[in-house]
Amino acid sequence: MLLRYRGGIGMLAWAFHRISGVAIWAFVILHVVDIYLVGGNPKAYDELLAIYASPIGRVLEALLGAALLYHALNGLRIIVMDFWPSLTRYQRQMWLTNWVIFAVLGVIVSYFIFKPLWGG
Amino acid sequence: MTRSAYRRAKPQGGGFELAVWYLMRLTGVALFVLALTHYLILHVLYDPALQNADFITTVRWSSLFWRAFDWTLLMMVLFHAFMGVRTVIGDYTHGGVRAALTMGLYLLAIGLFVMGTVVVLTLPTVVPAG
């Protein structure tokens, strides 16, 4: 049901919103636990941060950023349609606008996240 | 263009579910600012390779403002993320399984609330020398 795509922006937007939301929720659990270690076990925190800074860590970080940005932009689109139902007729334009913003910010943020890997 | 069938309809009749529906949108707008700002600072402006426990105590959390900022972010995200997953659980399970998973979810949220609040309150404030 979640992955069987039968067309329409609404369902695709909804599926991405759900997947990105659950992914962010999982990261929040990890992140509260890791920040707790700063007080309880600083050494373990430093070791974990080294993993975050590794090449694989940076890919995951970029994916987290992508999930956050998609969920934030699509969330605003949902709010606009909830509170101003007449604007729902522009949902396709809002969806496309969101992807333009996503692509532009995604390229810029990814550049900064991956830059240190080639000594920048 | 018709209304999207995949949008969660506003609950009718008021009460708890309607309050949650409004609060999801309110915390969502707050998180648009708080979460994206937090990500921008800690993943773009500061490289993770330069961060460690010392960085948190002497730089990130050396001011009351950023502690309050991150704690507010925690409160918003705990509500938004956990009520969101509650909806997901409700969509795919029912009966005893749903009740047990939802109860486990609330316990996890309370645990994270305590852990996050304790560390933000108790971590010593160290002003960097020089």
Shortest CA distance to B31 belongs to which of A114, A67, A47? A67
Total domains, chain B: 1
Touching check for B49 and chain A: CB below 8 Å? yes
Note the pLDDT of residue B3: 46
With CB atoms and an 8 Å threshold, state whether B51 touches A49: yes
Residue B17 lies in a domain: yes
Domain membership of residue B1 (yes or no) is no
DSSP B58: I
Under the banding of pLDDT at 50, 70 and 90, the label for residue A4 is low
The tens-digit pLDDT sequence of chain B (130 residues) is: 344 456 678 888 779 999 999 999 999 999 999 999 999 999 999 999 999 999 999 899 999 999 999 999 999 999 999 999 999 999 999 999 999 999 999 999 999 999 999 999 998 876 655 4
- Specify if B83 maps to a domain: yes
Within a domain: B110: yes
**Is B24 among the domain residues?**
yes
- Span A9-50, pLDDT tens digits: 788 999 999 999 999 999 999 999 999 999 989 999 999 999
Residue B84's domain comprises: 10-125
Asked, for residue B85, whether it belongs to a domain, the answer is yes
Is residue B4 assigned to a domain?
no
Write out pLDDT tens, residues A50-96. Answer: 999 999 999 999 999 999 999 999 999 999 999 999 998 998 899 99
Is B14 inside any structural domain?
yes
Using alpha carbons only, how large is chain A's radius of gyration in Å?
18
Domain at B35, CATH number? 1.20.1300.10
Quote the pTM value.
0.90
Helix ranges, chain A (H): 9-40, 42-52, 55-83, 91-114
Structure confidence at residue B1 (pLDDT): 37
pLDDT the model gives residue B10: 85
Say yes or no: A11 contacts chain B, CB-CB below 8 A: yes
Chain B nearest-CA distance from A52, in A, is: 7
